Amino acid sequence: MAWLRLQPVTSAFLRFGLITFVLFLHGLQVDAGTGAIPPITGQNDTCSGSSECKEGVILPIWYPENPSLGDKIARVIVYFVALIYMFLGVSIIADRFMASIEVITSQEKEITIKKSNGETTTTTIRVWNETVSNLTLMALGSSAPEILLSLIEVCGHGFVAGDLGPSTIVGSAAFNMFIIIAICVYVIPDGETRKIKHLRVFFVTAAWSIFAYIWLYMILAVFSPGVVQVWEGLLTLFFFPVCVILAWIADRKLFLYKYMHKRYRTDKHRGIIIETEGDHPKGIEMDGKMMNSHFLDGNLVPMEGKEVDESRKEMIRILKDLKQKHPEKDLDQLVEMANYYALSHQQKSRAFYRIQATRMMTGAGNILKKHAAEQAKRSTSLHEVRPEEPEEFISKIYFDPCSYQCLENCGAVLLTIVRKGGDVSKTIYVDYKTEDGSANAGADYEFTEGTVVLKSGETQKEFSIGIIDDDIFEEDEHFFVRLSNLRVVETDEPPDLNKLPYPKAILASPCVATVTILDDDHAGIFTFECDVIHVSESIGVMEVKVLRTSGARGTVIVPFRTVEGTAKGGGEDFEDAYGELEFKNDETVKTIHIKVIDDEEYEKNKTFFIELMGPRMVDMSLQKALLLTQEVSERKLTMEEEEAKRIAEMGKPILGEHPKLEVVVEESYEFKSTVDKLIKKTNLALVVGTHSWRDQFMEAITVSAAGDEDEDESGEERLPSCFDYVMHFLTVFWKVLFACVPPTEYCNGWACFIVSIMIIGMLTAVIGDLASHFGCTIGLKDSVTAVVFVAFGTSVPDTFASKAAAVQDMYADASIGNVTGSNAVNVFLGIGLAWSVAAIYWASKGQEFHVSAGTLAFSVTLFTIFAFVCISILLYRRRPHLGGELGGPKGCRLATTLLFVSLWLLYILFATLEAYCYIRGF
- Please report the pLDDT score of residue 705 as a whole number: 74
Q: What is the DSSP string of 428-471?
A: EEEEEEEEESSS-BTTTB---EEEEEE-TT--EEEEEEEB---S
Report, as an integer, the average pLDDT of 73-102: 90
Confidence of residue 737 (pLDDT cuts 50, 70, 90): very high
- Please report the pLDDT score of residue 636 as a whole number: 62
* Helix/strand/coil (H/E/C) assignment for every residue in 351-374: HHHHHHHHHHHCCCCCHHHHHHHH
Count of Cβ atoms closer than 10 Å to residue 646 Cβ:
11
b vs e for 779-788, b when ≥16 Cβ sit within 10 Å of the residue's Cβ? bbbbbbbbbb
Confidence of residue 53 (pLDDT cuts 50, 70, 90): confident
Quick check: helix, strand or coil at residue 631?
helix
Cα 432 to the center of its chain, rounded Å:
59
- Please report the pLDDT score of residue 909 as a whole number: 92
Please, which residues have CB within 8 angstroms of residue 340's CB and are 6 or more apart in sequence?
368, 372, 375, 713, 714, 715
- Please report the pLDDT score of residue 81 as a whole number: 92
- Please report the pLDDT score of residue 499 as a whole number: 41
- Please report the pLDDT score of residue 900 as a whole number: 94
Confidence of residue 917 (pLDDT cuts 50, 70, 90): confident
- Please report the pLDDT score of residue 283 as a whole number: 36
pLDDT in tens, 779-825: 888 888 888 889 888 888 888 888 888 888 888 888 887 788 888 88
Q: Is the peptide bond before 401 cis (omega within 30 degrees of 0)?
A: yes
**Ranges 451-460, 660-669, 673-682, most confident:** 451-460
**pLDDT > 50? residue 266:** no
- What's the one-letter identity of residue 625? A
- Please report the pLDDT score of residue 742 as a whole number: 92
pLDDT in tens, 569-590: 888 888 898 889 888 877 888 8
User: Strands 525-528, 849-850: parallel, antiparallel or unpaired by DSSP?
Assistant: unpaired
Output 903 or 102, whichever has higher pLDDT: 903
Confidence of residue 181 (pLDDT cuts 50, 70, 90): very high
- What's the one-letter identity of residue 755? V
Share of the chain above pLDDT 70, in %: 70
Confidence of residue 647 (pLDDT cuts 50, 70, 90): low
**Ranges 466-480, 537-551, 867-881, most confident:** 867-881
Nearest-angstrom CA–CA distance, 825 and 843: 25
- Please report the pLDDT score of residue 215 as a whole number: 92
**Ranges 236-245, 284-293, 493-502, 669-678, most confident:** 236-245
Share of the chain above pLDDT 90, in %: 16
Phi, psi of 580 (to 5 degrees): -135, 140
pLDDT in tens, 298-319: 344 444 455 555 666 666 677 6
Confidence of residue 500 (pLDDT cuts 50, 70, 90): very low
Helix (H) or strand (E) holding 700: helix 693-700
**pLDDT > 70? residue 381:** no
- Please report the pLDDT score of residue 560 as a whole number: 93
Phi, psi of 686 (to 5 degrees): -70, -25
Nearest-angstrom CA–CA distance, 340 and 805: 17
Helix (H) or strand (E) holding 317: helix 303-325
Residues linked to residue 595 through DSSP beta bridges, in sequence order: 541
**pLDDT > 90? residue 895:** yes
Count of Cβ atoms closer than 10 Å to residue 757 Cβ:
18
Ranking 285-294, 385-394, 492-501, 874-883 by mean pLDDT, the lowest is: 285-294
Output 630 or 132, whichever has higher pLDDT: 132
Output 49 or 886, whichever has higher pLDDT: 886
Q: What is the mean pLDDT of the chain?
A: 76
In 596-659, DSSP assigns E strands to 605-612, 616-617, 654-655
**pLDDT > 80? residue 677:** no
Report, as an integer, the average pLDDT of 63-87: 88
Output 438 or 22, whichever has higher pLDDT: 438
**pLDDT > 80? residue 876:** yes
Output 898 or 142, whichever has higher pLDDT: 898
**pLDDT > 50? residue 496:** no
807: left (phi over 0), alpha (psi -120 to 50) or beta: alpha
Side-by-side strand order, sheet with 428-436: 403-407, 512-518, 477-488, 428-436, 449-454
**pLDDT > 80? residue 254:** no
**pLDDT > 70? residue 633:** no
Cβ atoms of 1 and 891 within 8 Å: the answer is no
Nearest-angstrom CA–CA distance, 52 and 776: 6
Nearest-angstrom CA–CA distance, 720 and 484: 69
Ranking 210-219, 294-303, 746-755 by mean pLDDT, the lowest is: 294-303
**pLDDT > 70? residue 624:** no
**Ranges 150-159, 295-304, 640-649, 698-707, most confident:** 150-159
Nearest-angstrom CA–CA distance, 288 and 310: 14
Cβ atoms of 236 and 219 within 8 Å: the answer is yes
Ranking 6-10, 283-287, 903-907 by mean pLDDT, the lowest is: 283-287
**pLDDT > 90? residue 755:** yes
Cα 902 to the center of its chain, rounded Å:
40
**pLDDT > 50? residue 42:** no
Quick check: helix, strand or coil at residue 525?
strand
pLDDT in tens, 385-416: 444 444 456 788 888 888 888 877 778 888 99
Output 820 or 24, whichever has higher pLDDT: 820
Report, as an integer, the average pLDDT of 41-53: 53
DSSP 539: G
> pTM for the complete prediction?
0.64
